[in-house]
Amino acid sequence: MFISSAFAQTAPVAAAGGDMQSSLMSMLPLILMFVVLYFVMIRPQMKKQKDHKSMIDAVAKGDEVVTAGGVLGKISKLGDNYLGLEVANGVELQIQRSAVVQVLPKGSIK
């Protein structure tokens, strides 16, 4: 009546190489997006993590550091996972090594 019958259409026969090429071209923007994402976001973050790890491994007793919470102090004890941080005369805090954000030049803290 009002609705006509729907029949499946047959796809035109194309060469196998043309079909493969069109699928690769449709994937190209997605691949390009991942490459740009790697160089803009992932690679710099990995470099930053590597630099932070080498800085934490290089701290020594007597170094002046800043923690993630903004506390300034001098390293008085070293451990595998924790540091003793002297923030004032006779006041020592125990912090995680990963909480160290920056190593200050000698004599920064008076």
- Dihedral sign from CA coordinates of 84, 85, 88, 89: positive
Q: What digits encode the pLDDT tens for the residues 21-64?
A: 888 888 999 999 999 999 999 999 999 999 999 999 999 999 99
pLDDT at residue 93 in the model: 96
Q: Is the pLDDT of residue 85 over 70?
A: yes
More confident residue, 24 or 71: 71
pTM: 0.68
**Mean pLDDT for the chain overall:** 89
Q: Is the pLDDT of residue 95 over 60?
A: yes
Question: What phi and psi, each to the nearest 5 degrees, are found at residue 70?
Answer: 90, 10
Collapse the DSSP code of 102 into the 3-class scheme (helix H, G, I; strand E, B; otherwise coil) and give the result.
strand
Beta strands in the chain (DSSP E): 64-67, 72-78, 82-88, 91-96, 100-104
pLDDT at residue 101 in the model: 96
